[in-house]
Chains A and B, each alone.
Chain A
Amino acid sequence: MASKGTLTVLNLAGAGKLLSRRAFSTTRLVGAKQMTVRDALNSALDEEMSRDEKVFILGEEVAQYDGAYKVTRGLWKKYGDKRVIDTPITEMGFAGIATGAAMSGLRPVCEFMTFNFAMQAIDQIINSAAKTFYMSAGRVNVPIVFRGPNGAASGVAAQHSQCYGSWYAHCPGLKVVSPYNSEDAKGLLKAAIRDPDPVVCLENELMYGVQYPMSDEALSSDFVLPIGKAKIERPGKHVTLVAHSKAVETCLEAAKELAGKGIEAEVINLRSLRPIDTDTINKSVVKTNHLISVEQGWPSCGIGSEILARLMESEAFYHLDQPALRLTGCDVPMPYTQSLETAALPRPVDVVDAVKRLLKVK
């Protein structure tokens, strides 16, 4: 057996109580204003709509109903029918209309009720939105945002519970962001709207209602985050945990538990899946000598596969003390039963267990 390489560990290992992880604790900054991810997305939309009248929103139920998950709350009242548009149920149709509007100079934000339904529209996203700039030799750009909830929700089974991170991250021409907390959500969505290229913004339904602190800077209407830069959510020196979206929270919880055992995990929040911030990951690995990627998506050709492959191709590879690991969702369609659903996704105990195995501690 090669001493270096990758070893797939699925999420099955790990001792510990099967806790209901439906309620989340978050680090609270004293005095900082708390904001839900939903409100952060809403204020990003609101600010960008008032800043640039070319920005408009379309999708199913986004206007009078305020969006299936209420992300567009109040925007129809404020901006009216012209800029917040309810569409018939035709994802391929409204994604195409949005793409065409972007080709003609507007800045559409195309909301999918969930990314599961964007499967109906994926030809418009990839064959048209992502490739038109290239195919037109740079004459027609497509400044569009495709956004909506992505990944596993709760108790909605196989057809409503998958992560499209690696699907979209695979495609040149697209940029892909996957915010974790409220600051991410606001800063990345605003950057996406201002970006000259098509951006896919993968949100998470289970995070919409969760509150996170917002710095003064993040509250400002000038706040944007750079697409393609990861963030070190928690510094550490023994092991690097890389994740995006809800899995960042899984890693932070695991890191907290590990800290009690004297293990300092460095948690990297990717924020952006394309481009992916290889530098930040590699620098961290040079420091910690251990890497585990954690994601809710499936293992094959996943975000973790990409991270590990890139590491393998870099100098940082020689700094690994152990083969890097991937923790992913179980390689089956999402089961409906709640206890199996929980078991099919990486939990903090799985991360803790993987870290202990990697570091060879009991």
Chain B
Amino acid sequence: MAFKTSLSCACNVFFRHFSRTTLKSSPITQPKFPGAKTSWTEKLQFTEPSQYTPIPVYRVMDRTGNILDATQEPQIKDEILLKMYKDMSVLNVMDKILYESQRQGRISFYMTNYGEEATHIGSAAALTLDDLVYGQYREAGVLMYRGFSLQDFVDQCYGNSDDKGRGKQMPVHYGSKDLNFVTISSPLTTQMPQAVGSAFALKGTNKVVVCYFGDGSASEGDAHAALNFSATLECPVIFFCRNNGYAISTPVNEQYRGDGIAGKGVSYGINTLRVDGNDVLAVYNVTKLAKEYAVKENKPVLIEAMTYRVGDHSTSDDSSAYRSPKEVADWATNDYPTKKFRYYLESKGLWNGDKEKQLLEQTKKDVMSAFSVGEKKLKPKWTEMYEDVYKFLPAHIRKQRDSMVEHLKKYKEHYPIDSFQK
């Protein structure tokens, strides 16, 4: 009975409101549905992708290093500009040598960064060491800028005793706790929701999380989850997409339709920037703005850096099977980020042919020496294989290890035991 009464009361209330609104003549201009804030229309029509103006590509320099709008030239100290240029060049030399070492069978795998140097260095220069970086795998320049030495790179690729990863990961799966760079993980895009989780944890600390990913990785479901959650949870994270045109052999027109990766940002309610990824100054400016905004507002930003993967996908790939050498050569000669930056530095009187020659010679020497030192180092102690499966070594793993120790006592001569640390 009680139920019936209250129900009829509710009805009364409802009808009263209803009749009052219908009687009012002033029209409701805004729909009130909770699902979208927008206007009404009485026109039946599609919203077509073609009605949408694609997000423009922000740049600072033209292809020859001229500043296009003086107000956009970042005020970066000369020594920083030179460090940026130097790291871009060193990255290049290191790639050449480590790529070759894979070809010679000295390491099992390698991935080069050719053509994408400006996305790494421009963004890294706009961040601080406090900021947390999640990479995909083609971001060696970011790590280099943050202070990972040539020896650190080589040691990881060799998995030797000085490798911070203790020889547990494939080459190029770098990581450094000191440099706030999360160890690379092979399964694509898993880093994106993780980055949002970290940003959630770091909210309000004036730090930002930067998460790099490729145009191909953006197709994984995790990318959707990451973008959506970052917006709803309001996390200070910068999603940095390196759109280099290909995911192994898959060109972007088979990867997605619509206005690239940037186009998605807006629909997630995320402030978005699209930038010339071959223009290191432009990348610097967008990352700086993104960080300021993300930290101040506790909100995510999406950056899409347009670039081109000049090298093969990895040492397991031969890209001539799916793209023309002419296409590659065109990017390598006419819009190479390092070259563009060099023109700029030359115009400022900061660089010249002699310095270039000196830098290349010195770098080659440095890489080669890191390389030969790294190659000679012992592998981590072989019992490392049983470490770090769990925080505390459980009995069954200890048993495996101990039986291996016993076994090696007997049959030492059959194992390359001397190549491992004692």
Contact = CB atoms under 8 A, between A and B. Distances in A.
A12 interface: yes
A61 B249 contact: yes
B178 interface: no
Contacts of A68: 248
A12 B219 contact: no
B415 interface: yes
A17 interface: yes
A7 interface: no
Contacts of B382: 339-340, 343
A332 B386 contact: yes
Interface string A50-91: 000000000011001100100000000000000000101111
B254 A332 contact: no
Given A88-B250, A89-B188, A89-B250, A13 B407 contact: yes
Interface string B248-259: 111000111000
B400 A331 contact: yes
Nearest to B173: A157
A89 B255 contact: yes
Contacts of A158: 168-169
Interface residues of B, number: 46
B415 A18 contact: yes
A120 B170 contact: no
B187 interface: yes
Given A12-B407, A93-B221, A339-B415, A157 B168 contact: yes
Interface string B391-416: 00000110010011001001100111
B260 interface: no
B108 A340 contact: no
Contact of A336 (B159, B322, B396, B414): B159
Contacts of B416: 18, 339
A335 B166 CA distance: 10
A117 B411 contact: no
Nearest to A159: B186
User: Which has the most chain B C-beta neighbours within 10 Å: A68, A336, A344?
Assistant: A336
A335 B400 contact: no
A179 B106 CA distance: 32
Contacts of B256: 88
A10 B419 contact: no
Contacts of A344: 385
B403 A159 contact: no
A15 interface: yes
Interface in B30-53: none
A16 B216 contact: no
Contacts of A160: 170, 186
Interface in B175-192: 185-189
Contact of A332 (B250, B380, B397): B397
Contact of A335 (B109, B168, B186, B247): B168
Given A10-B403, A13-B407, A93-B219, 10 more contacts: A64-B321, A65-B248, A89-B255, A93-B221, A156-B170, A158-B169, A330-B400, A335-B385, A339-B382, A343-B385
12 contacts: A15-B411, A16-B411, A86-B250, A86-B254, A88-B216, A116-B186, A120-B220, A155-B170, A330-B385, A333-B389, A340-B167, A343-B385
Interface of A: 10, 12-18, 60-61, 64-65, 68, 86, 88-93, 116-117, 119-120, 154-160, 330-333, 335-340, 343-344
Q: Which 3 A-B residue pairs are closest in the complex by CB-CB distance? A: A155-B108, A88-B219, A159-B186
